[in-house]
Amino acid sequence: MKQHVVQLLTNVVELTETEILPLIETPPSREQGDIAFPCFQLAKKFRQAPPQIAQQILDKLNQLPLDDFGIKEVKQVGPYLNFFFDRKQYASHLLEQGMESLLSSTQIGEGKTVVVEYSSPNIAKHFQVYHIRSTMIGQSLANTYAALGYKVEKMNHLGDWGTQFGKLTAAFLKWGDEEKVKENPLSELVALYVKFHEEAENHPELVDEGRMWFKKLEDGDEEAVRIWQWFKDESLKVFERLYSQLNVSFDHYLGESFYSNKMDDVIQKIKEKDLLEESDGALVVRLDEQNIPPCIIQKSDGASIYATRDLASALYREEQFHPDKILYVVDQRQALHFQQVFSVLKKMDYAFADGCEHIAFGFMTIQGKIGSTRKGDGLLLDEVLDYAVERAMNIIEEKNPNLENKHEVAQAIGIGAIVFNDLKHHRTHNIDFNWDEAFTFEGKTGPYVQYTHARIKSLLRRASEEEATASQSVTPHPSYESDVAWDMIYALQQYPSVLVETTKKNDPSQIAKYLLELCQLFNRYYAQERFFVEDKAEVQAKIALASHVASTLKHGLELLSIKAPDAI
């Protein structure tokens, strides 16, 4: 709609499309107009009072064939020009165009690349609740960028390097049992690691042994590498199972270990820029001007650290992909770390540092509990997911026991409930997950959106039985003129701009909130309008509209990485 108005205006004001677009506004209510063009900003340029400018533009507009632009009327109210669309013309145009081609006109990412780094769990440990948030926020951002035409590189920066793996190797060789680890890798490895620390209190020589194994690993010793690789493979099997349940996938698994041989190069580059300083035997880059503590590059014992690996990974990403943006979807507790890393990159004069962004997010608890690394004192993600699916299954058994693909649907709803609950809040908020709340079909939940979608699908099935399928051409039917219909059509055409907003703010809750609103609009419409009336043309018109709503809901859910079953 904005596009129509912008094009129309280029005929009467001496401004380009790109100059006009940011001036366009959405009036608070449809009675005031569908699109507004305030003339304040033009006052300087045209040296006239805004209402006068508005009047002159209106006079010129009235000489144009407004209908060709889908516009019925333009009204001037003081400094504003308010545009009213011809509802039925615009609706038929939109519905004929369809959701996919509506999006294809908003490919703002064409020719651009974004690296999205997310999830990044630590091997040989359980997935933590903050990893779920990172995983889902990251995946949905990656999906949304891709939908807008960006080339997206989905990156998992696995925590797979550090002295802890020397300790774990020592512990495994002493007390480990291969079969047990295979059966239950993460819990077993965590238990071994805990035992190592307990034993080390009375046997300090264990610490040296751990150090020795890490040294061996760094030097590429065959046995050390083999054991570490096995820990990693077993952990990845568990992670990948979770990812497939969550519809998550990556283009690259490049963990911290990948950068371990790229440290010298980074340190050399920092040195060349004359930024490296010694401090208590460690090497650091001072960040006094930024008013933040120095970034430690190398520890006094020569070991490289987390931040240095992040510098190496940033350089690698720049070199490989020349991205326009690199997004780091990581828990807010690491804010200082990323400030330091990005500041060092800036001091090294890398222009791409400006495109690096920490996408921080708040905590999530599950009914007040924090998910944890060890069984017993918290909740584990796979248990949470299994329980969610079980719960969804109970609902299906109660509501629709004859449903065909029950298991698949239970999976979609159970997991959808958790994921939607995560993504509907602004990412920086702390959230608590409540089982009852997340599973209601009436509240602001994933199941509510899925259910609305399935309901429309069943309507479409019934219509096709009655041979009223949406045809290729959509007639400009008067039923599109009612406020309930128009509000929905208005929301449908906003969908691409919701995706743009999501990428601007890097916040998937924009999409989740939009979907809730669209469901509300549809349910209101559905409560007021009769679908299967005598007049076939009217049935077709309504079906065309409902079908567009369904595809938008499905598309939006899928961007959030949630499935939309056709029947529930």
Out of 82, 92, 113, 120, the only residue in the binding site for ligand ARG (CB under 6 A) is: 120
Q: Which of residues 455-494 bind ligand ARG (CB under 6 A)?
A: none
- How far CA 73 is from CA of 33, 35, 64, 65, 84, in Å, comes to 9, 11, 11, 11, 5
| Contacting range for ligand ARG; rule: CB under 6 A; set: 119-127, 405-413, 441-449, 516-524 | 119-127
In angstroms, how far is CA 190 from the centroid of its own chain? 30
Report in angstroms how near the CB of residue 356 gets to ligand ARG at its nearest.
10
For residue 122, what is the DSSP state? Answer: B
- According to DSSP, residue 355 is labeled G
Element (H, E) at 406: helix 406-423
Residue type present at position 568: I
67 or 265: CB nearest ligand ARG: 265
Whether residue 500 contacts residue 557, with contact meaning beta carbons closer than 8 Å, is answered with no
Minimum gap (Å) between residue 307 Cβ and ligand ARG: 8
Q: At what angle do helices 406-423 and 509-528 cross, to 10 degrees?
A: 120
Q: Quote the tokens at residue 196.
A: 């190592």
Q: Does 155 bind ligand ARG (CB under 6 A)?
A: no
| Closest distance to ligand ARG from the beta carbon of 355 (Å) | 15
Q: Please state, in angstroms and rounded to a whole number, the distance separating the CA atoms of residues 421 and 436.
A: 12
Stretch that binds ligand ARG, among 21-29, 85-93, 113-121, 264-272 (CB under 6 A): 113-121
Instruction: Pick between residue 126 and residue 425 the one whose CB is nearest to ligand ARG.
Output: 126
Q: Which is nearer to ligand ARG, 34 or 117 (CB)?
A: 117
Query: In terms of CB distance, is 120 or 452 closer to ligand ARG?
Result: 120
421 forms part of the interface with ligand ARG (CB under 6 A): no
Number of residues that bind ligand ARG (CB under 6 A): 9
- Give least dist CB 42 to ligand ARG, A: 46
Minimum Å gap between C-beta 388 and ligand ARG is: 23
Question: Alpha helix (H) ranges present in 148-221?
Answer: 164-175, 178-183, 185-202, 205-218
CB nearer to ligand ARG: pick between 323 and 416: 323
Question: Residue 137's closest CA among 157, 117, 114, 123?
Answer: 117
Please report, as residue ranges, which positions from 314 to 353 form the binding site for ligand ARG (by CB under 6 A).
Answer: 328, 330
159 near ligand ARG, rule: CB under 6 A: yes
Residue 345 Cβ vs ligand ARG, minimum distance, rounded to whole Å: 13
Residue 504 belongs to what H/E stretch? helix 483-505
Whole-number minimum distance, CB 346 to ligand ARG, in Å? 17
As measured in angstroms, the least distance from the Cβ of 541 to ligand ARG is 51
Q: How far is the CB of 55 from ligand ARG (least distance, A)?
A: 57
- Token look-up 């926020």 returns 137
Q: Which residue has the tokens 């019934």?
A: 462
CB 130 → ligand ARG: shortest distance, Å?
A: 7
Site stretch for ligand ARG (CB under 6 A), options 42-50, 116-124, 211-219, 286-294: 116-124
Q: Whose Cβ is closer to ligand ARG: residue 334's or residue 475's?
A: 334
Of 128 and 551, the one with the shorter C-beta distance to ligand ARG is 128
Q: Is 86 in the site for ligand ARG (CB under 6 A)?
A: no
In the complex, the smallest distance separating the C-beta of residue 201 from ligand ARG, rounded to whole angstroms, is 26
Nearer to ligand ARG, 270 or 459 (CB): 270
Select 158 or 417, whichever has its Cβ closest to ligand ARG: 158
Helix axes 87-104, 483-505, angle to 10 degrees: 30
End-to-end CA distance of the chain: 34
Strands (E), 313-371: 325-329, 356-359, 364-366
Closest by alpha carbon to 199, among 236, 174, 220? Answer: 174
Q: Is 157 in the site for ligand ARG (CB under 6 A)?
A: yes
What does the alpha-carbon distance between residue 449 and residue 426 come to, in Å, rounded to a whole number? Answer: 18
Nearer to ligand ARG, 86 or 117 (CB): 117
User: Residue with the closest Cβ to ligand ARG?
Assistant: 159
Stretch that binds ligand ARG, among 114-122, 344-352, 355-363, 437-445 (CB under 6 A): 114-122
Does 135 interact with ligand ARG (rule: CB under 6 A)? no
Nearer to ligand ARG, 113 or 450 (CB): 113
Cβ proximity to ligand ARG: between 122 and 502 the closer is 122
Instruction: Please return the burial class of 465, using the count of CB atoms within 10 Å of its CB with bins 0-12, 13-18 and 19+.
Output: exposed
130: nearest Cα among 563, 500, 427: 427
Count other Cβ atoms within 10 Å, centred on residue 176. Answer: 19
Asked if 310 is part of the footprint of ligand ARG (rule: CB under 6 A), the reply reads yes
Q: Closer to ligand ARG at the Cβ: 90 or 328?
A: 328
Coil, helix or strand at residue 65 = coil
Q: How far apart are CA 97 and CA 108, in angstroms?
A: 19
Q: Is 304 in the site for ligand ARG (CB under 6 A)?
A: no
Token code pair at residue 502: 């999501």
Residue 122 lies near ligand ARG (rule: CB under 6 A): yes
Q: Which is nearer to ligand ARG, 287 or 314 (CB)?
A: 314
Rounded distance, CA 132 to CA 293, Å? 30
Find where tokens 């209601």 sit. 440
Interatomic CA distance for residues 259 and 484, integer angstroms = 56
Cα distance between residue 477 and residue 461, in whole Å: 22
Neighbours of 518 (CB within 10 A): 22
What CA–CA distance (Å, rounded) separates 328 from 313?
11
Q: Closest approach of Cβ 460 to ligand ARG, in Å?
A: 44
Residues that bind ligand ARG (CB under 6 A): 117, 120-122, 157, 159, 310, 328, 330
